Amino acid sequence: MPRSTASARLAKYGSMRDFSRTAEPSGAHAATRPGRIFVVQEHAASHLHYDFRLELDGVLLSWAVPKGPSLSPTVRRLAARVEDHPLDYANFEGVIPQGQYGAGTVLVWDRGTWQPEDDPHAALAKGRLTFTLHGQKLHGRWHLVRTRSARGAENWLLSKGRDAAANTRIDITAARPESVMSGRTIDEIAAGPHRVFRGECSS
Residues of the shown chain interacting with Mn ion in the complex, contacts defined by CB under 5 A: 43, 51
**Residues 83, 3, 27, 173, CA torsion sign:** positive
* CA dist list (Å): 116 to 38, 43, 87, 200: 11, 25, 18, 26
At closest approach, how far in Å is the CB of 100 from Mn ion? 12
User: Which one, 51 or 55, has the nearer CB to Mn ion?
Assistant: 51
DSSP states of 125-177 as a string?
Answer: HHTEEEEEEE-SS-EEEEEEEEEEEETTEEEEEEEE-SSTT--SS--HHHH--
At closest approach, how far in Å is the CB of 104 from Mn ion? 8
User: Which one, 102 or 199, has the nearer CB to Mn ion?
Assistant: 102
Measured from each CB, the residue nearest to Mn ion is 43
User: Which one, 49 or 160, has the nearer CB to Mn ion?
Assistant: 49
d(CA 106, CA 95): 6
User: Which one, 43 or 141, has the nearer CB to Mn ion?
Assistant: 43
At closest approach, how far in Å is the CB of 101 from Mn ion? 9
At closest approach, how far in Å is the CB of 25 from Mn ion? 14
At closest approach, how far in Å is the CB of 26 from Mn ion? 17
User: Which one, 50 or 131, has the nearer CB to Mn ion?
Assistant: 50
Beta bridge partners of 56: 59
Are the C-beta atoms of residues 54 and 61 closer than 8 Å to each other? yes
At closest approach, how far in Å is the CB of 50 from Mn ion? 8
User: Which one, 43 or 137, has the nearer CB to Mn ion?
Assistant: 43
d(CA 41, CA 53): 8
Longest dimension (CA), the chain: 46
